[in-house]
Amino acid sequence: MMEKKIVLITGASSGIGEGCARKFAMNGYRLILNGRNVEKLNAVKKELLEKYGADVYLLPFDVRDRQAAHAALESLPEEWKAVDILVNNAGLVIGVDKEHEGNLDEWDIVIDTNVKALLAMTRLVVPGMVERGRGHVINMGSIAGDYAYPGGSVYCACKAAVKALSDGLRIDLVDTPIRVTNIKPGLVETNFSVVRFRGNREAADNVYKGIRPLTGDDIAEVVYFAAAVPEHIQIAEVLVMPANQATGTIVSRKQNLYKDMINFLFGVLLLTGSLLAQNVCVSTPKTSLVLSAPEGGTLRHLYYGNRLSEADLQNISAAEANHAAYPEYGLNAPVETALAVKHA
């Protein structure tokens, strides 16, 4: 029976890290899960044990603390020391400030988490991989490393560094069997944006409006694929985005049709209620609606206020009455002449 591989995942208490833990667990890997929130780590461990019978070892520490990281890895029981796959996932960004207006202390946190912690974990784990002659480092980069965007220069620089570090490590390990992969997600809906907007959930939700973003589980599928291919195959880099995202800043956002319909119906009710100065019974081959226009209004008010097409107006008796009386005015014909058909 093949020995189960050991996967060490940083930032495993939520988001992409949690998704990776779930994906590797359901496929029989042994897991070392790192994170700062012990309560969340315990909840993840409980889920993986109950659903998949997974073998999980928790290693809570702040990846920015190099001494804590060293001590934690040294404390691993002997049967857990031989890490086969390191997923450097821990990362964050705080704020959307311009580079000349940003907070230096927040930048320290961002750089320490995304770059220096990744370097420290790599330095602590990879020598053992080289010694054993097997291993895989999977770094969590970002599309932000390829495309800078407003208010994100420091984070973009960090993820550009992740790409450079991944490429450099791959070069350094070229004479070994160790593989190095850089995963670069686009829009992924996790707690990431909440942290970026300093806890403002509404602002975070707006990032994903009008598009179906990726999830942590989606990225985990890509991570697992890179890890599970035959060992002579090295997937160096993967850029993965939602279907309607083209670059870091070019996204096609769709209108919420359900919301638009509700707004339309509400508008009709509002017109018939609060603006009831003139009533017109609108009869088309398919429907009848009571519409209204403000005092002294014209057919144009009906046309725009109720979102009727010009073709619809040709089937409305009110429109015919107005066109008959005021053919030269078209949609500017007064609504008053349509009163003759308001009870039709």
Q: Coil, strand, or helix at residue 87?
A: strand
**Which amino acid is it at 18?**
E
* Nearest alpha-carbon partner for 205 in 256, 158, 243: 256
Q: CA-CA distance, 59 to 73, in Å (whole number)? A: 8
CA distance 6 to 26: 13
Q: Which residue matches tokens 């291993």? A: 135
Host H or E run for residue 343: none
Helix ranges restricted to H, the chain = 15-26, 38-52, 66-74, 104-111, 117-132, 153-172, 192-196, 201-206, 216-228, 257-273, 299-305, 310-314, 317-325
155 is catalytic: yes
Among 29, 57, 149, 155, the active-site one is 155
Q: Residue 300 phi/psi, 5° resolution?
A: -65, -35
> Is the Cβ–Cβ distance between 324 and 263 less than 8 Å?
no
Give phi and psi for 283, each to the nearest 5: -115, 120
Active-site annotation, residues: 155
